[in-house]
Amino acid sequence: MIVYDLACDQAHHFEGWFSSAEDFDAQVEAEQVSCPVCGSVNISRQLSAPYVNTGGSVETQEKPDAETALSGVDIDSLHRKFVEFVLKNSEDVGKQFPAEARAIHYEEKPRRSIRGEASRDDIDALREEGIDVYSVPGLPTPPDQVH
Ligand SMILES: [Zn+2]
């Protein structure tokens, strides 16, 4: 399985799981991939997405399924609040994110919450090392990510 960071033509970001790159292409072609927010089938792949690292202070737990855990809640406003919280309470380290997350994990740097950019490969590597990183769709993307 591979996971892609996807965005629709309304700039909603979400993740999609596919068995292969060909599978992704085929499903997009057949308009079987749609935005969970607006239902658009104009989907494009993002090369990287903003990620947040909690500095290890949060116990590892399965990410709750947003749709079941938050049913009946105004997810948009909840998500906006979360994004604001992350922005206020984490340090933007930009492309240094994987290095900083690692330094914090191995206690080479003070424990704190950071946010920044990382590729899917970086994230996989960090998770393999036991470092908790979360994808936070909706964080402002750097200029070269704006489409
Ligand atoms: Zn959308």
Tell me, what's the pLDDT at 37?
A: 94
- Tell me the per-residue pLDDT of 18-52, one tens digit each, with 9 for 90 and over: 888 899 999 999 999 999 999 999 999 886 545 56
The two tokens of residue 4 are 């892609």
Residue 76 Cα to ligand 1 midpoint, Å, equals 12
What pLDDT shows up at residue 84?
83
| pTM for the full predicted model | 0.44
Helices and strands (H, E) in the chain, number of each type: 5, 7
The rounded Å distance from CA 41 to ligand 1 centre is: 8
The pair of structure tokens assigned to 66 is 């947003």
Over residues 53-63, the mean pLDDT reads 51
What is residue 57's predicted lDDT score, i.e. its pLDDT?
47
Whether the CB-CB separation of 132 and 7 falls below 8 Å is answered with: no
pLDDT at 53: 61
Is the pLDDT reported for residue 8 higher than 80? yes
Indicate the domain borders of the chain.
2-46, 48-145
Please give the distance, rounded to the nearest whole angstrom, from the Cα atom of residue 129 to the centre of ligand 1.
Answer: 33
CA 110 – ligand 1 centroid, Å: 38
14 neighbors 37 (Cβ within 8 angstroms): yes
Distance in Å from the first CA to the final CA of the chain: 27
CA of 105 to the centre of ligand 1 (A): 35
Q: Which residue has the tokens 């996971």?
A: 3
Question: CB neighbours (10 Å) of residue 123?
Answer: 22
Query: 101: Cβ–Cβ under 8 A, 6 or more apart, which residues?
Result: 53, 114, 118, 126, 131, 133
pLDDT single digits (tens) 59-72: 444 455 544 454 55
Q: What is the pLDDT of residue 72?
A: 59
Structure token pair of residue 126: 């960090």
* Ligand 1: centre distance to CA 95 (Å): 26
